Structure 1
Amino acid sequence: MIRLRRWLLAPLVGLALLWLADGLFPLPLPRADEARVVLAEDGTPLWRFADAEGVWRYPVTPQEVSPLYLEALLTYEDRWFYRHPGVNPLALGRALWQNLSGGEVVSGGSTLSMQVARLLDPHARSVPGKLRQLWRTLQLEWHLSKDEILTLYLNRAPFGGTLQGVAAASWAYLGKSPAQLTPSEAALLAVLPQAPSRLRPDRHPQAAQRARDKVLRRLQQFGVWAPTRVSEALQEPVLLAPRQEPRLAPLLARRLNTPDSPALIRTTLDASLQRRLEDLLLGWRARLPEHTSAAVLVVEAQSMAVRAYLGSVDIGDDKRFGHVDMIQSVRSPGSTLKPFLYGMTLDAGLIHSESLLQDVPRRYGDYRPGNFSAGFTGPVSASEALATSLNLPAVQLLEAYGPKRFAGELHGAGLPLQLPAGAQPNLALILGGAGVRLEQLLGAYAALGREGKAARIRLQPQQPLIEQRLLSPGAVNNCIGQILLAKRMGKKRIMPRPAPHARRGHRHRGRALRHAVRGLHGHHRHRPPAGQR
């Protein structure tokens, strides 16, 4: 009876000791990853942020990797991965015999679980090191499922240089997702972690090809892949271009990378369009004046998803202040606010497309605006004044509509105008006498393609669509859009003249506008603050 109790007590004591050791020497699982990758909408890496050790990863799960790669990996590295408890006794015994016979560590006999244990807790290639590895392996199998262990391997295995994980290697070496690997590519990536420096395909293609062929023949030997598939894969040479790291949309990447960002930062960008526009803008750099930069923002009007984001010509060009994101910077809008003013005055009934405005010299207190051409055309229709971006008619309209009212409606639609401290909206607004951000200006311009609704740009798929009415659909579809289209097509006028009864009604509103302008003209106007003239 006493002997039976001892037999029952021994396992319990052993389990208690293991539990105590597990608490005293916890498994060093990876913490929140500092390495991050910014992705285009289709998953293409745009930019990467390495961790403190300079390593970058692209986290994936087994379901996001090609089955061909998983077959090649498990067949070559650990055929019994899903059956053994972390240690394969037969493989370990064979390795022990080889090591004792050779008098040194020749073979490790490591399973995938043991390799993950070594990745998480590196150790020397010695007997104490092997015992330490076995302990960590038992902890892995105790705390994690097989798929979780496999996921750690997929994301932590070394692939040469600063690359860790099969996805980072697939994009860097092959320029494609690990879900799209061919049999030849799958076999190549399966063997690289064995000797990542010696087998780097961009530096040692012949050694990499020999190692890949060994994997392919083993897959055929165990009947995992058909001979025809293996034969075709063996004929493919390993010829890769130098490794490419993702280097697109750097300023957007910097904007989205925060301490709380996930390892994969997803955006709405189109990687192909982004690449073409960056090349195009770099080609234009030599034509720009010295110390001048440029920005490009492409947005899909209906969804407001950003498809291309170029905040400067070149982030590395210090002479052009390439580190400054001009999409977020406050800049003068110039004459770009004029379509909104014309649309608002149309909605308010102050003008129609054929209303006559005065392009003549005028003074508003100390403020005397002029045209870019320095000339004046006299009476001009509202359509022509907007199409040719005349300044004096726009100032005339803003005086009648009211600068504060105009600025307030823009602000309500998501386009706040930045003014110097203590300054109030004035007539200089319409000629660029305020500051705006490009992304907010574009959100307002989206109203011209969205039935008059302005909206915020969306940089990431999870961001909701936030929109606000800026103009009526009639003002957009029947007037402003037509006028701007006519200007683009080089036509003089494509707007039909109002019917006689409509002309009479608009004549009264036009008369009211002229009276309003005359009344306002007699009042003293403060000189606009410096920088707003």
Structure 2
Amino acid sequence: MRADRLCILAVFCLFALALGRDVGDDWVARTELPPLVPDTSTEVRDRDGKLLRVYTVADGRWRLAVTPAQVDSTFLDMLITFEDKRFYRHNGVDYRAMIRALAQAAWNGEVVSGGSTLTMQVARLLEESGTGRLKSKLRQMRVALALERRLTKSQILELYLTHAPYGGNIEGVRAATLAWFGKEPTRLTPAESALLVALPQSPVARRPDRNSETARDARNRVLARVGRTDALEKEDALAARFDPVPHSRRSFPALAPHLSDRARALNPAQAIHHLTLNAELQAKLEHLASDATRGLPDAVSVAIVLADHHTGEILASVGSPGYAARNGRQGFVDMTNALRSPGSTLKPVVYALAFDRGLAHPQTLINDRPVAFGGYAPQNFDGSFRGELTVTDALRQSLNIPVVLLLDEIGPAHLMEAMRRAGLSPNLPGDQAGLAVALGGVGVTLTDMTQLYATLAQGGVARPLRWHDQEPAAPRRRMISRASAWQVSDILSGLAPPAGAPRGALAYKTGTSYGHRDAWALGFDGRHVAGVWIGRPDGTPVPGAFGGDLAAPILFEAFQRLRTEAAPLPPPPPETLMVSTAELPLPLRRFKGRNAAFEPASDAPKLIFPPDGARLEIGAAALPVKVRDGKPPFTWLANGVPILTGVRRREADLPGISTGFSQVSVIDAKGRAARVSVRLD
């Protein structure tokens, strides 16, 4: 075996000498070179250039683009000293090194050192040819000579730094330093540099995670040799021998997988994508989302968006607790971009529009009472009614009836238009918006809702959120006046925070969609805005899920993950009317609506049985009736004929009413009446 190697080496040397004398330029010039532009991993970076995510190349290898300027100079010195000390002086083939290798082999009886230059190694790596066969060596020498004519030394070194094997599917020095040391190659220790010099010589046998002792011995041999040269001080080489070698391979950065996939899909040919995200904050919120699922039922997902509402830049976007589909959570689904029902989180916008139109003021009194709009009769979440209360209290208690009363005056189409002015693309289940939009009857995304609350935070001026540095800045449009935006923000900042959270730090609102399918929390301070969504990606209910219980604590924790303290909310604009209910102009003291002049007084009598249009089977029995409100005594009539008079009780039985259609009426002591039409069988 030793004799065969000596023979091959001798042939190399003789060929090299002959090549230098007899082979013409034309033979080298006609060399067909392999592709010189390597296929490198797509990189997604944050606002500061830090890696968020890296993708493998087509054959599943990690191969990151790198230039010599991005690599520690000590490593480069050690590499050239150890592998090819005449790199900058030869033309691709170092004949002196080959003669030296032959002499050493003859003296020692075996191959002690090879004659391959770094350029020849690049040729081998580009063509993935072997190292021991004569034909392969000759081809490498020819390609090396051709490379030296077409490329600079720096470009050749760059190809080596990009293609050198470092164990498994790791190629190139950047991939190696990330996998073995968890850092970029810009600053390396002597021990790390020596290991990187040694690994490509035998990447399988010297893999640190599988053969740490072999890797350490190879590294120390490099240190011993370069420690006798100008590449490394002898003392530094001796000290580096005691540094540990890595025992495991680190994972490559995999932050913001959903946005990274979107960026790559938008421009697959782009090598580097720069996002507006902050890598540190993104990692913190991904951990927060993952921790938040503990104790939640299977298949429940969490999504978080946090942005700077001054610049419109999204700083963190978490589409799920984990990219892998575990416990049925469908982590591959980006829930920041999925259409969901926003529940009560649209209510602040309805109130802001009402303030803008002069329909109400935060201190306006509004009646939380049973109402019906044709066939639509909204109910509060708990089924009860609060009576007359201020608009501020109605919003803080998230009552349904007051906000529907206001939207009936504003018009659902105007709410939809306001959302579009804020840059949203709401999705309606039907062709036309109805009053149920105020309670979440529309499809929006978490990013949309975060953008809507950013508009409130910006004094009513919409600044569409962006996540990619190549997104053009969208024009700013006013959705509501700054006074109305501040009034809503002031109301929301007075909501009681979750246990342990600071009061008044955020203006926030929670929401729960119909059937407990979506739990929301959205809020902002003077600088940042964030949104949290919890639910099942498939849209099935999560019994017992409420935005205030589940999403609000995560919202406040997300703000605590910011490096800076919470920025204070702005003071009121000078035009803001800040007075008590009694000091308001008379039309603003109580909300009445456009039909108030035609509606009975709130305390007028109301027939609650039988209901209007009812069909009852009573036979020969008397008709039971019941009245609410009104002042007794009451007079009961059937088809205009008095049946009972002077009745002080609110329940009675009306005798003698014939079958068929009848009109039943009641008149109270003030002459106010209520009537229903019924059919008796």
Q: Which residue matches 1:334?
A: 343
The residue aligned with 2:180 is 173
- Matches of 1:255 and 1:83, distance apart in 2: 47
Matched, 1:453 2:461: yes
- CA distance in 2 between partners of 1:276 and 1:287 (Å): 20
Counterpart-to-counterpart distance in 2, 1:164 and 1:101: 36
With 38-47 and 168-177 compared, the bigger mean Cα shift is at 38-47
Cα displacement (A) at 1:275: 3.0
Shift of 1:167: 1.1
The answer to whether the Cα contact below 8 Å between 1:202 and 1:243 also exists between their aligned partners in 2 is no
- Residue 367 in structure 1 maps to residue 367 in structure 2: no
- Any conservation in 2 of the 1:201–1:208 contact (CA below 8 Å)? yes
Q: Quick one: which amino acid aligns to residue 75 of structure 2?
A: Y
The equivalent residue for 1:3 is: none
Of residues 225, 240, 248, the one that matches 1:233 is 240
2:329 paired with 1:320 = yes
Instruction: Output the amino acid matched with 1:88.
Output: D
Please say which of residues 217-226 and 164-173 is displaced more in the overlay. 217-226
Q: What's 2:212 paired with?
A: 205
Letter of the 1:260 partner, please give it.
Answer: P
Alignment partners' CA distance in 1, 2:580 and 2:300: 52
CA separation of 1:104/1:451 partners in 2, compared to 1, >3 Å: closer, same or farther? farther
The alignment partner of 2:44 has SS state of strand
Q: How far apart are the structure 1 equivalents of 2:58 and 2:110?
A: 35
* 1:390 aligned to which of 399, 402, 411: 399
Deviation at 1:463, TM superposition (A): 3.3
Q: CA deviation at 1:138?
A: 2.0
Unaligned runs of 5+ in 2: 1-20, 498-502, 508-570, 601-681
Q: In structure 2, give the amino acid aligned to 1:414.
A: G
Q: Distance in 1 between matches of 2:119 and 2:288?
A: 48
Task: State the shift of 1:334 in Å.
Answer: 0.8
Aligned AA (2:578): P
* Whole-angstrom CA distance in 2 between matches of 1:74 and 1:277: 44
Code of the residue aligned with 1:426 in structure 2: it is G
Q: Which has the higher contact order (CA 8 A, sep 6+)?
A: 1
Matched, 1:74 2:153: no
The aligned residue for residue 120 of structure 1 is: 126
Q: How far apart in 1 are the matches of 2:105 and 2:376?
A: 92
Structure 1 445/96 Cα, relative in aligned 2: closer, same or farther at 3 Å? Answer: farther
Q: CA deviation at 1:402?
A: 1.4
Alignment of 1:383-532 (within 5 A): 383-420=392-429, 423-466=431-474, 467-477=476-486, 479-488=487-496, 498-499=578-579, 503-505=583-585, 507-509=586-588, 514-516=592-594, 518=596
Shift of 1:386: 1.4
Which structure 2 residues correspond to residues 253-402 of structure 1 after superposition, within 5 A?
A: 253-258=260-265, 260-317=268-325, 319-402=328-411
2:71 aligned partner: 65
Shifted more, 428-437 versus 278-287: the winner is 278-287
Deviates more, 1:226-235 or 1:175-184: 226-235
Match of 1:526 in 2: none
TM-score, structure 1 normalization: 0.85
SS in 1 for 2:344: coil
Identity %: 38
Determine the C-alpha separation between the residues in 2 that align with 1:157 and 1:305.
38
1:400 is paired with a residue whose SS is helix
TM-score of the pair, normalised by structure 2? 0.68
Asked whether 1:188 is paired with 2:195, we answer yes
Cα offsets for 1:149-184 (capped at 9, x unmatched): 112111111111111111111111111121132222
* Inter-partner Cα distance in structure 2 for 1:442 and 1:469: 16
Range moving further from structure 2, 460-469 or 70-79 = 460-469
Distance 1:32 1:159, change over 3 A: closer
Instruction: Give 1:102 shift.
Output: 9.0
Q: Which residue of 1 aligns with 2:670?
A: none
Which secondary structure state, in structure 2, belongs to the residue aligned with residue 337 of structure 1? Answer: helix
2:92 counterpart (86, 90, 98): 86
| Aligned length, in residue pairs | 502
**Cα distance in structure 2, aligned partners of 1:172 and 1:17:** 41
Counterpart-to-counterpart distance in 1, 2:269 and 2:392: 48
Greater share of residues in helix: 1
> Is the 8 Å Cα contact of residues 163 and 169 (structure 1) preserved in structure 2?
yes
**8 A contact 1:46–1:247 mirrored in 2:** yes
**Residues 73, 391 of structure 1: alpha-carbon distance in 2 compared, 3 angstrom cutoff:** same
CA distance in 2: counterparts of 1:459 and 1:66, whole angstroms: 32
Contact 1:105-1:126 within 8 A present in 2 as well: no
**Partner SS for 1:335:** helix
Q: Secondary structure at the match of 1:410?
A: helix
Summarize deviations over 1:496-527 as a string: whole Å, max 9, x none.
Answer: 9834899444x33567x6242548999xxxxx
Work out whether residues 114 and 133 of structure 1, in 8 Å CA contact, stay in contact via their aligned partners in 2: yes
Q: What SS does structure 2 have at the residue aligned with 1:320?
A: coil
CA distance in 2, matches of 1:252, 1:504: 49
- Structure 1 residues 427 and 213, CA, compared in 2 at 3 Å: closer, same or farther? same
Which protein has the larger Cα radius of gyration, Structure 1 or Structure 2? Answer: 2
- 1:52-111 per-position Cα deviation (integer Å, ceiling 9, x unaligned): 321022222222222222222222222222222222221133335567889997754222
Q: CA deviation at 1:329?
A: 0.9
Helix, strand or coil at the partner of 1:443: helix
Deviations along 1:328-370, whole A, 9 cap, x unmatched? 1111111111112222222333222111222111111111111
Equivalent residue of 1:357, what SS? strand
Distance 1:214 1:41 in 2: 41
Greater percentage in strand: 2
Does the 8 Å contact 2:178/2:250 carry over to 1?
no
Q: Is the 8 A contact 1:300 1:306 kept in 2?
A: yes
Q: How far 1:391 moved relative to its partner?
A: 1.1
Is this contact kept in 1: 2:364–2:588, CA < 8 A? no
Structure 2 CA distance for partners of 1:42 and 1:213, relative to 1, 3 Å: farther
Distance 2:205 2:139 in 1: 27
Alignment CA distance shift 1:178-1:372 (3 Å):
same
1:93–1:265 distance in 2 versus 1, CA, 3 Å: farther
- Alpha-carbon distance in structure 1 between the residues aligned to 2:425 and 2:453: 14
Deviation at 1:234, TM superposition (A): 2.6
Match of 2:17 in 1: none
In structure 2, the CA distance between the partners of 1:57 and 1:468, relative to structure 1 (3 Å rule), is: farther
Describe the superposition over 1:113-136 as per-residue Cα deviations: whole angstroms up to 9, x where unpaired.
111111111223222111111121
Q: 1:465: how far off? A: 3.9
Which residue does the alignment assign to 1:249?
256
Q: For 1:441 and 1:202, locate their aligned partners in 2 and report how far apart those are by CA, in whole Å.
A: 47
Q: Hey, what's the Cα distance between the residues in 2 that align with 1:416 and 1:92?
A: 70
Deviations 1:475-505 (A, max 9, x none): 333x1221111114568x9999834899444
| C-alpha spacing 1:437/1:520, structure 2 compared with 1 (3 Å) | farther
**Greater shift after overlay, 493-502 or 452-461?**
493-502
* RMSD of aligned Cα (Å): 3.1
**In structure 2, how many angstroms separate the alpha carbons of the residues matched to 1:204 and 1:517?**
84
